Amino acid sequence: MIRPPPACPLPPGSTIGILGGGQLGRMSALAAAKLGYRCHVYAPESDSPAMQVAAARSVAAYDDAAALAAFAAAVDVVTFEFENVPAGTLDILAPLVRCRPGVEALRIGQDRVLEKRFLEVAGIAVAPWREVSSRAQLDQAVAELGLPAVLKTTRLGYDGRGQAVLRALADLDTAWARLSPRPLVLEAFIPFEREVSAIVARGADGSAVTFEPTENRHAQHILDLSIAPAPVAAGIGAAARAQVVRVAESLGLVGLLALEMFLLPDGRLLANEMAPRPHNSGHWTMDACLCGQFEMHVRAVAGLALPDPGRHHDAVMKNLVGPESYGHWPELAALPGVALHLYGKSEAREGRKLGHATRLLPLGTVATAPDPGALAPL
């Protein structure tokens, strides 16, 4: 049976299906609840952070066609919170139910080679790179790009997993043996001044709203701090926003998209990665804006208007990664001016994102602070 197209905007009481059970799904579901929507979370793991706050759940594999058909029948629209959901899952769902964003954004976002080609075609500058399928191609790529360079897996890499910095020819054998699956990507090492990211929400009517770009600082390849707004010249912030909008438009994306970029000392931006979903570097928007990234995501997916974010504070967000930093939750919960978010994960493992805390600061504080990173809540 062909289902009638869903009402636009989706009325309150409608059900948003979310593929993926992590913290991004959890915070999307909480934002959806604020607008009167129900969320149905589909993930292979039971008791996932998103399932704990969802109205309905399906615990099933991403290739379980029967479970996916039942899920499609139970929801009004589908989105995803995790870009390593197999593209085949959306291929099964797309004929049955509206999917926002669609499969193309997912396919490109989960494959570094497709992503870099796509960004280049869209006119977005990226670091010089080569696709590497054999050891001989690695030698050739190193000869062309020089050292240092960064060797990365093409798929399933996140939080710096699946990459190695090559500083000398002696590093090639170990890195080649360690990294899989292949092909890999070799990138020139970029001596960036800062890392920044920008997030856009785009509606089905083509309207687009951006958040102010964020400066991101990493520890052990995992996001540690986000500083908002990024303390960069106004022209650089505007360029970062224009780039993320251009990427979303090129994709025809409906939903949310984040673009991570390197800022070079000469003011140029090079795109590093895109994610067609809410992004860790946008967590500060939940507390420092009237309409944060998760609500913006829900609005785009549900066909609601996309308002100006209405940023009312500067913010510094600290990720709580692993048991040591998570252990500070009682003192963070007691700190005035700090918003604490804990993800309900069943195990506090090393290297896992377990929560975050955002310190809210009066507008203008970040631009004038000698080191805004020192304003982090922890």
Instruction: Return residues touching ligand AMP (CB under 6 A).
Output: 127, 150, 157, 160, 163, 187, 189-190, 195, 218, 221, 272-273
Q: How far is the CB of 295 from ligand AMP (least distance, A)?
A: 25
Which of 77/271 has CB closer to ligand AMP?
271
Q: What angle do CA 49, 210, 189 make, to 5 degrees?
A: 80
| In the complex, minimum distance from the CB of residue 103 to ligand AMP, in angstroms, rounded to a whole number | 23
Report the nearest approach of ligand AMP to the CB of residue 159 (Å): 7
Task: Quote the least distance from Cβ 99 to ligand AMP, whole Å.
Answer: 25
DSSP 271-313: EEEEESS--GGGTTHHHHBSS-HHHHHHHHHHT-------B-S
Tokens of 58: 């399906």
Distant-in-sequence, close-in-space partners of 172: CB < 8 Å, separation ≥ 6: 138, 139, 142, 166
Question: Which residues on neighbouring strands pair with residue 52, listed in sequence order?
Answer: none
DSSP state of 6: P
Burial class (CB within 10 angstroms; exposed 0-12, middle 13-18, buried 19+) of 146 = exposed
Answer for the pair 38, 15: CB distance below 8 angstroms, yes or no.
Answer: yes
Nearer to ligand AMP, 106 or 339 (CB): 106
- Residue placing its CB nearer to ligand AMP in the complex, 34 or 218: 218
Six-digit token pair at 45? Answer: 């793991």
Q: How far is the CB of 257 from ligand AMP (least distance, A)?
A: 15
| Distance of closest approach, residue 163 Cβ to ligand AMP, in angstroms | 6
Q: Which is nearer to ligand AMP, 138 or 360 (CB)?
A: 138
Residue closer to ligand AMP by CB (options 221, 268) is 221
Least Å from the CB of residue 149 to ligand AMP: 7
Q: Which residue is nearest to ligand AMP (CB)?
A: 190
Burial label for 243, CB within 10 Å (0-12, 13-18, 19+), is: buried
Nearest to ligand AMP of 17, 157 (CB atom): 157
Here the tokens at position 116 are: 């870099």
Dmax (CA) for the chain in angstroms is 62
By beta-carbon proximity to ligand AMP, the closer residue of 139 and 159 is 159
